[in-house]
Amino acid sequence: MSIVNFSIPKTLEQIISQTIKEKGLASKAEFFRFAAVNYLDEACKLPLNDNFKIGWLSSALDEALYKKFKNRRLPSVKKQLAKLDRI
């Protein structure tokens, strides 16, 4: 994975930080990855293939799960989906 560094104005950084908190994103990096994929998919109408989208989503999910659970085991799928039966 490549690393990209750039500067943004303080006011934009404050808006981005607030959005990260409100939307539950894990980091600024996740925000900018999401923004780039969304821009390419919507504004540019580039034909991003499903493998790219699935890869990006999988990597974002891996990062979020690692941050939440670190070295702990994930609950079983049955346990994770148990609440859905009650809805």
Q: Which domain holds residue 69?
A: 10-85
Residue 1 in any domain: the answer is no
- Is the overall model pTM greater than 0.75, yes or no? no
Contacts of range 32-36, beta carbons closer than 8 Å, 24 or more positions apart: 32/4, 33/60, 34/60
pLDDT, the chain, mean: 79
Show the tokens assigned to 22: 């409100």
Between helix 10-23 and helix 28-38 the angle, nearest 10°, is 90
Banded model confidence at residue 48, pLDDT cuts 50, 70, 90: low
Is 42 inside a domain boundary?
Answer: yes
Q: Considering its fold, how many domains does the chain have in total?
A: 1
